[in-house]
């Protein structure tokens, strides 16, 4: 090889070495220098590191969201399954031409199955018939109630000497059954006495003597013949100081609903009342 050729070759190698130092990301220049120097991800894309960090942050947020969704599904489902007693608590409002004189112009609060004395029985309390019997007559042997002037209501013709109570309370009691909201009912005589002795502990209370009761299938038959109207129960009506107007007010307001026994409280047999003879 001539000296001139060697000189030209050295000159070319020198230029390639300079190019490799100026642009190490160029594969050709790197190879010419005898070493392979591949570019890093950050050199190819300066924002790659930021994007990776953002991606990891989004992944963590997404995971947390689905975890929260999974954890909240069970209580949400349980809340949906929880029975709404307020929707099921009803009054039965007697038709003006009801056959039984004991229930003439009556409004009956239907009670939950937990207070039924027998399987298949329907039980209620008449709300609008004061019995004009003072507490001292009902509990003559109790000194704390001897001078009390409050009167009881006629709850129905079954067990007319047995007492029952409907009251409001902000806490539950094992001797009472929940009707709806903060309204409870009890037929426990000892519990009723203690409750009457502490009127300051209950914002509203109504005492009853006797109860209304239907044999299996009896109430359904009466509903089908149009003897009763079904009306949603309200606490303000249960404890209304003007109970003498309760039947008239509810009858005028609710005289033409289509009643359905399956909507009555706490699992009565399903029978549709498709006929209602009273229309406004």
* Range in 104-108, 155-159, 253-257 with the lowest mean pLDDT: 253-257
DSSP string, 161-202: EEEEEEEE-SS--TTSEEEETTEEEE--HHHHHHHHH-GGG-
Asked whether residue 30 falls in the same domain as residue 110, the answer is no
Dihedral sign from CA coordinates of 244, 132, 175, 197: positive
Answer yes or no: is 202 within a domain: yes
Rounded CA gap, 244 and 175, in Å?
30
Residue 74, pLDDT score: 38
Look at strands 205-214 and 151-154 and give their pairing: parallel
Answer yes or no: is 198 within a domain: yes
Asked whether residue 97 falls in the same domain as residue 78, the answer is no
Residue 183, pLDDT score: 95
Asked whether residue 6 falls in the same domain as residue 60, the answer is no
Asked whether residue 108 falls in the same domain as residue 28, the answer is no
Taking CA atoms, 147 is separated from 142, 150, 173, 204, in Å, by 10, 9, 27, 20
Kindly report, residue by residue over 181-235, the tens digit of the pLDDT.
Answer: 999 999 999 999 999 988 877 779 999 999 999 998 899 999 999 999 999 999 9
Task: Taking residues 18-47, report their average pLDDT.
Answer: 49
Asked whether residue 163 falls in the same domain as residue 201, the answer is yes
Max Cα distance, the chain (Å): 141
Domain of 170, CATH number, reads 3.40.1740.10
Asked whether residue 246 falls in the same domain as residue 176, the answer is yes
Answer yes or no: is 280 within a domain: no
Neighbours of 224 (CB within 10 A): 16
Rounded CA gap, 193 and 191, in Å?
5
Answer yes or no: is 44 within a domain: no
Asked whether residue 123 falls in the same domain as residue 59, the answer is no
Asked whether residue 127 falls in the same domain as residue 68, the answer is no
Answer yes or no: is 246 within a domain: yes
Answer yes or no: is 188 within a domain: yes
Answer yes or no: is 150 within a domain: yes
Asked whether residue 12 falls in the same domain as residue 70, the answer is no
Looking at the structure of the chain, the number of domains it has is 3
Answer yes or no: is 270 within a domain: no
pTM: 0.62
Kindly report, residue by residue over 160-185, the tens digit of the pLDDT.
Answer: 989 999 999 988 999 999 999 999 99
Asked whether residue 3 falls in the same domain as residue 97, the answer is no
Asked whether residue 55 falls in the same domain as residue 74, the answer is yes
Asked whether residue 124 falls in the same domain as residue 64, the answer is no
Domain hosting 18: range is 1-39
Taking CA atoms, 200 is separated from 22, 168, 178, 194, 197, in Å, by 94, 11, 20, 12, 9
């Amino acid at each position: 090889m001539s000296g001139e050729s060697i000189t030209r070759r050295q000159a070319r190698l020198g230029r390639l070495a300079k190019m490799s130092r100026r642009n190490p990301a160029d594969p050709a220049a790197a190879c010419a220098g005898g070493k392979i120097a591949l570019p890093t991800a950050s050199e190819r894309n300066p924002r790659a590191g930021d994007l990776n960090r953002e991606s990891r942050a989004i992944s963590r947020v997404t995971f947390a969201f689905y975890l929260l969704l999974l954890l909240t599904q069970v209580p949400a489902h349980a809340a949906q399954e929880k029975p709404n007693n307020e929707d099921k608590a009803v009054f039965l409002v007697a038709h003006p031409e009801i056959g039984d004189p004991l229930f003439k112009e009556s409004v009956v609060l239907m009670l939950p199955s937990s207070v039924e004395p027998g399987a298949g029985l329907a039980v209620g309390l008449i709300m609008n018939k004061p019995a004009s019997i003072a507490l001292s007559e009902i509990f003559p042997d109790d000194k704390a109630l001897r001078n009390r002037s409050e009167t009881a209501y006629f709850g129905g013709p079954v067990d007319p000497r047995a007492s029952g109570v409907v009251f409001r309370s902000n806490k539950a009691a094992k001797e009472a059954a929940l009707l709806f909201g903060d309204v409870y009912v009890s037929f426990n005589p000892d519990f009723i006495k203690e409750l009457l002795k502490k009127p300051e502990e209950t914002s509203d209370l109504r005492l009853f003597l006797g109860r209304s009761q239907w044999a299996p299938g009896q109430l359904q038959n009466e509903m089908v013949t149009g003897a009763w109207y079904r009306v949603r129960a309200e606490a303000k009506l249960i404890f209304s100081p003007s109970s003498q107007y309760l039947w008239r007010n509810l009858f005028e307001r609710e005289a033409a609903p289509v009643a359905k026994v399956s909507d009555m409280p706490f699992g009565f047999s399903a029978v549709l009342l498709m006929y209602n003879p009273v229309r406004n």
